[in-house]
Amino acid sequence: MITNDGISQRAIRFAESFHFTNPQIVRTRPARDEFVARYGTAQATEYRETVIHMDCGANRQETIHSSKLEERQEIEFLLNEGVTLLVVCSAQDVKYNEFLRIDLD
- Report if residue 36 sits inside a domain: yes
pTM metric for this prediction:
0.79
If one compares 19 and 51, the residue with the highest pLDDT of the two is: 51
Domain with 19, as residue range(s), is 6-100
**What pLDDT is attached to residue 41?**
75
Q: Confidence class of residue 3 from pLDDT cuts 50, 70 and 90? A: low
Output b/e per residue, 16-26; b: 16+ Cβ within 10 A.
Answer: eeeebeebebe
- Report if residue 52 sits inside a domain: yes
CA distance 100 to 97: 9
Total of domains in the chain: 1
- Report if residue 105 sits inside a domain: no
- Report if residue 1 sits inside a domain: no
Q: What is the pLDDT of residues 12-34, one digit of tens each?
A: 999 999 878 899 999 999 999 88
CA distance 29 to 49: 5
- Report if residue 50 sits inside a domain: yes
**What pLDDT is attached to residue 103?**
61
Q: Which amino acid is at 47?
A: Y
